[in-house]
Amino acid sequence: MILPTVPFHAKVETLIIGAGACGLIAALAAAEAGQEVMVLERDALPSGSTALSAGLIPAAGTRWQDAAGITDSPAQFAADIAAKAHGENDAALETTLAAGAAEVLHWLADRHGLPFSVITDFTYPGHSARRMHGLPTRSGRELIDALRAVAEGQGIDILTEARVTALHATGSQITGVQITRPDGTVDSIGCGRLILACNGFGGNKAMVAQHMPAIADALYFGHPGHQGEAMQWGAALGAAIHHPGAYQGHGNVAHPHGILISWAVIMEGGCQVNLHGLRFWNEAQGYSEAARAVLAQPEGQAWAIFDARIAGIARQFQDFRDAEAQGAVKTAATIADLAVATGLPLPALTETLSAFEAAKSGAADPFGRPLSGVAPLCPPFAAVRVTGALFHTQGGLVTDGQGRVLTPEGAPLGNLWAGGGAACGVSGSDDSGYLSGNGLLSAAVLGFRAGRATQD
């Protein structure tokens, strides 16, 4: 809802909606640039999509890559983004994000003490180099907690339990926002400019059904507060919106535990089988496409099959350790024991895994997955029952390289900026264009650039 301008009890230079990774990075950058900043967060404790993720940010040309002997470049990264999205993205935005990621990570490490490192023991699908960076536990909760602690330590005002229910504007110029407290109290805060960092619309079932019907009935593994207000406000003000049907899915969520299982269990030599013990697709395409592939199987479920060696790699992720602690990871000394542990039919499972291992030795894989030279599965074996889920939307408001919201004609829209899930990312038009880490890539780079930008 867009409301007329009213007298404001308080006013700040830069107002940010959303205290996820995008909003907190924007706040830190704005404060460093000398701006008076306030962050508005609907929850009592900031978390959002960031806390539900693995907290990994892809970046090319970092010092952590150099130390690990990884050869990479922003141009190579941008080419990977473009290839995964089938050439559907804005090329300038691809270049901006790929070129800006390393700067943000170095800034967060050097200026704010976040201890990033690069994952060196497996490559995510679609990436031609190992460029996924994260904090020690490889969890989004650690990332959001670290960003919040830094922001609070610098005295940045984070107003929690403050749900923004409307924007105040004169024409396309934002003058402030209306907030509603849990007790129903309504107030308004003025601003010189507004940054929308409030993610997308994955929690809005009507919008999901409208823009991405193929995933409308799936488990939503995001924050329920992501109701699409940013896109609705932008549209009401005359903003351009692109790729509203783009999203990130995930086909490896432990069922019924609801815990994300790293795609490392697949990329390092594992596979997925349905409840009949049969493989059903080329798993190397990516975990986003896996959501629809798994949901199309009987009962919308599958089993991820791997071994102890691969489990050792996945164990660097807090989520995987949590899944083990909750009994989601089944282990077995033999294939026959694995069939008993999972309830899968032994003849079908044996035949499926035999063909899968043969493809690693040079036989043709019936699904076209490149498996030659991939390490074989060896006992003890492991398996997790999984389902598919919608994680977050990837379409949204069109922005320039600084996060400034644009009109359909390409002109800046008043004093409005956006980043993260509020902005159109670089995942093309559907789920298959999502390159691992695209969500936090957009959150980090556009948040940083929008934060340090100034009102013209």
In this predicted model, what pLDDT tens digit does every residue of 56-98 receive, in sequence order? Answer: 999 999 999 999 999 999 999 999 999 999 999 999 999 999 9
For the segment 191-250, what is each residue's pLDDT rounded down to a tens digit?
999 999 998 999 999 999 999 999 999 999 988 889 999 999 999 999 999 999 999 999
Q: Which residues contact 197 (CB under 8 A, 6 or more apart)?
A: 16, 17, 18, 19, 20, 22, 23, 26, 418, 419, 420, 422, 443, 447
Instruction: Give the pLDDT score at 368.
Output: 96
Q: What are phi and psi of 238, to 5 degrees?
A: 100, 20
Instruction: Give the pLDDT score at 49.
Output: 82
46 pLDDT higher than 90: no
For the segment 388-420, what is each residue's pLDDT rounded down to a tens digit?
999 999 999 999 989 999 999 999 999 999 999
Q: Does 381 share its domain with 294? A: yes
- Segment 295-307 shows an average pLDDT of 98
Q: Does 17 share its domain with 139? A: yes
- Segment 127-155 shows an average pLDDT of 96
For the segment 366-381, what is each residue's pLDDT rounded down to a tens digit?
999 999 999 999 999 9
Q: 3 vs 18, which has greater pLDDT?
A: 18
Q: Does 336 share its domain with 355? A: yes
Q: Does 132 share its domain with 266? A: no
- Segment 344-355 shows an average pLDDT of 98
171 pLDDT higher than 70: yes
Q: Considering the domain boundaries, does residue 24 fall inside one?
A: yes
Q: Considering the domain boundaries, does residue 54 fall inside one?
A: yes
User: pTM of the full predicted structure?
Assistant: 0.93
For the segment 322-340, what is each residue's pLDDT rounded down to a tens digit?
999 999 999 999 999 999 9
Q: Does 150 share its domain with 111? A: yes
Instruction: Name the average pLDDT for the chain.
Output: 96
Domain span at 158? 2-204+394-452
454 pLDDT higher than 80: no
Q: Considering the domain boundaries, does residue 213 fall inside one?
A: no
Rounded CA separation 215/247 (Å): 9
Last residue of a domain, one of 359, 390, 421: 390
Instruction: Give the pLDDT score at 48.
Output: 77
Rounded to the nearest 10°, the torsion over CA 406, 411, 413, 418 is: 30
Rounded CA separation 32/198 (Å): 22
CATH number of the structural domain spanning residue 182: 3.50.50.60
Instruction: Give the pLDDT score at 141.
Output: 95
- Segment 427-443 shows an average pLDDT of 95
456 pLDDT higher than 60: no
Query: Number of structural domains, the chain?
Result: 2
Instruction: Give the pLDDT score at 455.
Output: 63
